Amino acid sequence: MRATIKDVAKNAGVSIATVSYVIHNKKELSPTVKQRVIDAMAQLHYRPNVNAQSLKTNRTNKVGVIVPDIANPFFSNIVKKIDEILQKKNFQLVLCNSNYQIEREIAICSSFIQSGGVDTLILIAPRMTDKSLYEQSRDYPFFVVDRPETIKTKNIVFVYSDNYLGSSLVAENFFNHGYKSFACITGLESVPNANTRLEGFLDKLMDLGFDSNKVIIERGEFTFEDGFKCMQNILRRIENMKKLGVFVCSDISAWGAMEAVKEMGLAIGENIGIHGYDNIFMSQFFNPALTTVKTPSDEMGEEVANMVLDYVTKQKKITDCHSRILSASLVERNSV
Amino acid sequence: MRATIKDVAKNAGVSIATVSYVIHNKKELSPTVKQRVIDAMAQLHYRPNVNAQSLKTNRTNKVGVIVPDIANPFFSNIVKKIDEILQKKNFQLVLCNSNYQIEREIAICSSFIQSGGVDTLILIAPRMTDKSLYEQSRDYPFFVVDRPETIKTKNIVFVYSDNYLGSSLVAENFFNHGYKSFACITGLESVPNANTRLEGFLDKLMDLGFDSNKVIIERGEFTFEDGFKCMQNILRRIENMKKLGVFVCSDISAWGAMEAVKEMGLAIGENIGIHGYDNIFMSQFFNPALTTVKTPSDEMGEEVANMVLDYVTKQKKITDCHSRILSASLVERNSV
DNA sequence: ATGAAAGCGCTAACAC
DNA sequence: GTGTTAGCGCTTTCAT
């Protein structure tokens, strides 16, 4: 059996309170006593039982992270960054995969919220509706990454990037390369990023003098498979394949889209250009190298992790944490 | 404040024991009482405090997962699979990134072990020495994925794949494509997989009549950057670039190696062939598509997760869990 | 400077 | 069928 504080106390010939004091280094203790306790702890390989600590203090030093798909490099990269920062302060991540399913997301979220298992929650690109988000946060503040602040509540802190700007860059880029007709593969209507990216793209296209009604639009989840299928649909719908610019609103689906194009025997970058979004590390090595927009995922992870830290250590109230919009920038390569 | 079992009891007009009974659905209760309790729980949004439960029962329904780098798709894929299976049984993952650092790995591991924070531990591709592994497991059984069983202890269950076989396949494949000279970029001496893969490669090469002493060997961590550097070293050391087969013992480093080759302006697949290992999803889309060996990562994840489940639910003692070696198979593409 | 003791929220053995 | 209660391991107030 694991040694308890009692065992240490007995071994050191002191009370359990004293042991607790040396663990937390809080009270002035005589060096001799302190040393005796330290020795006893070492000898017994003592570690405080975290469950008892948490029960008593109502703090767990754990942060729940809900992610649509940890195998998606875009998300795993954010998680890595968050872990990097939280680990330094002795926090652990409790990771849950929602598999892009809203019901799972909500179930995980509310179970976290009410069970005392974590100090706070980070939702990465949650798929639930604004209404659900709002309800979940009602009695329990948390943090949301990579999703715009489309609802007003002081109980949620949003960290995301400027998708509207990013996708206007895409339209411009196509324009500069002489593309004449356009398509967009974006996410589901329920995904705010999907709508903002589409909107930013269409608006800029109109600015540039194009008829946004002629833009072919396909929607799917931001996955390889859906990107592939959506591209097939576009290829089927298209009449005139002359300088067609396809904006795929996530790199992962862009990979699928590129495969669909290649499978048709078409060359990418001439009459059909593919533009991704997110700038996932591997995209630069694809064939052709994917032109895309950089979402500052490292910064988002850093930003949220630091705010979480401020919040759980109670240096800051949630109402003093400010949502942040980070920028986005073009990454030119060979697919456009 | 969160509602406690006391609140529910008061609200339903029963004792806390009764509430506990309906939570766990263990005792026969009169339907009326049961319903009253259920209503009270719903009304108060009651959820048992998991810390109190864990303190009492010594079970957390959490499994610690230590991974070298969650942003590495090979690892994140395994984690995803593990989560998928454990989540169904109401277990959560507590994820920690060791960043390939042995000290962090050991620190995380022993803190998990002694703090009661998790029911068991899964180490994915741990970098610590056999000795450390053995010591850590001495009083606390756990599971190791993607590392061969090079030490005998009934306290560790290993799930890995047949690297010796896999890398002999690589040698054969090079041979079949007419390659005449060879190099190998493998992992550090301290990484068992790295040694086994090198060994399997060299042994088969000898079988095939080649002089294994002439094989150029470079070592680095299994990362993009190290793959890149090692390849540069090889390119520097090589005299005669005629049908050189380079076995890079992980896909991730193979990506780096390919970039190094391309940067030199050399074509891959003719006079220089690159062979990866692991078959990471994206490898098929690289330029050229990477020839590699499939490590059954999904199966490894599944296998451990199920064993962990058997173990933590005490249907099985650790000594009844058997280490498993899964197979490996060639994936032919265009880089060889 | 050190210790006694209450109590965090829960489970389960035992009593009724 | 339902309730009483001890106690899991710890923190912290209050006393000495």
State pLDDT tens for residues A105-140. 999 999 999 888 999 999 999 999 999 999 999 889
Q: What is the pLDDT of residue B50?
A: 95
B87 close to A75: Cβ distance less than 8 angstroms: no
pLDDT tens-digit map of A35-68: 999 999 999 999 999 999 999 999 999 999 999 9
Closest among A85, A145, A160 to A324, alpha carbons compared? A160
Helical (H) or strand (E) element with A127: none
According to DSSP, the residues that pair with B275 across neighbouring strands are B247, B291
Q: Render A56-69 in DSSP notation, one character per residue.
A: HHS--SEEEEEES-
Roughly what angle, to the nearest 10 degrees, separates helices A102-115 and A130-137? 10
**pLDDT (mean) for A168-172:** 98
- CB contact A13 to B (< 8 Å): no
The enclosing H or E element of A216 equals strand A216-219
Cβ contact, residue pair A94, B95, below 8 Å: yes
- CA→C1' distance for A258 and D8 (Å): 58
- d(C-alpha A138, C-alpha A146), whole Å: 20
Q: Quick one: pLDDT at residue B273?
A: 97
- pLDDT > 90 in chain A, percent: 90
A258 interface with B at CB cutoff 8 Å: yes
How much is the average pLDDT of A97-110? 96
Residues in B touching A258 (Cβ below 8 Å): 285
**Residues 212-241, chain B, touching A (beta carbon < 8 A):** 224
Neighbours of B270 (CB within 10 A): 9
Total residue count of chain B as it appears in this document: 336
Taking alpha carbons only, the member of B99, B94, B101 closest to residue B116 is: B94
Which tops the pLDDT comparison, A98 or A316? Answer: A98
Q: Which of A54, A111, A259 sits opposite B51 (nearest CB)?
A: A54
pLDDT at A29 over 90: no
Task: Give the chain B residue nearest A44 (alpha carbons).
Answer: B114
Model confidence pLDDT, tens digit, residues A206-261: 999 999 999 999 999 999 999 999 999 999 998 777 899 999 999 999 999 999 99
Residues 31-60 of chain B whose Cβ lies under 8 A from any Cβ of chain A: 45-52, 54-55, 60
pLDDT score of A249: 98
Measured between alpha carbons, how far is A82 from B160 in angstroms, rounded to an integer?
29
Structural contact between residues A210 and A144, judged by C-beta atoms closer than 8 angstroms: no
Which among A76, A77, A114 has the least Cβ separation from residue B45?
A114
* 3-class SS of residue A201: helix
State, as a whole number of angstroms, the distance between the CA of B57 and the C1' of D6: 14
- Checking if the pLDDT of A329 tops 90, the result is yes
Strand partners, A273: A245
Residue closest to C9 C1′ by Cα: B52
CA distance B51 to chain A (A): 5
- Calculate the alpha carbon distances from B98 to A299, B75, B106 in Å: 20, 12, 9
Give the DSSP letter of residue B146.
S
Strand partners, A218: A185
Q: What is the pLDDT of residues B236-295, one digit of tens each?
A: 998 877 899 999 999 999 999 999 999 999 999 989 999 999 999 999 999 899 999 999
Render each residue's pLDDT in chain B as its tens digit; 336 residues: 789 999 999 999 999 999 999 999 887 788 899 999 999 999 999 999 999 999 999 999 999 999 999 999 999 999 999 999 999 999 999 999 999 999 999 999 999 998 889 999 999 999 999 999 999 999 899 999 999 999 999 999 999 999 999 999 999 999 999 999 999 999 999 999 999 999 999 999 999 999 999 999 999 999 999 999 999 999 999 887 789 999 999 999 999 999 999 999 999 998 999 999 999 999 999 989 999 999 999 999 999 999 999 999 878 889 888 999 999 999 999 999
pLDDT of residue A121: 96
The single-letter DSSP state of residue B215 is -
Q: Tell me if A62 and B94 make a contact (CB, 8 A cut-off).
A: yes
d(CA B16, C1' D1) / Å: 14
Q: With an 8 Å Cβ cutoff, are A71 and B54 in contact?
A: no
In b/e form, how buried is each residue of A204-213, taking b as 16+ CB within 10 angstroms?
Answer: bbeeeebebe
Whole-number pLDDT of residue A30: 87
Interface of B with A in 281-310 (CB under 8 A): 281-282, 285-288
Query: What three-state secondary structure class fits B102?
Result: helix
Peptide bond into A126 cis (omega under 30): no
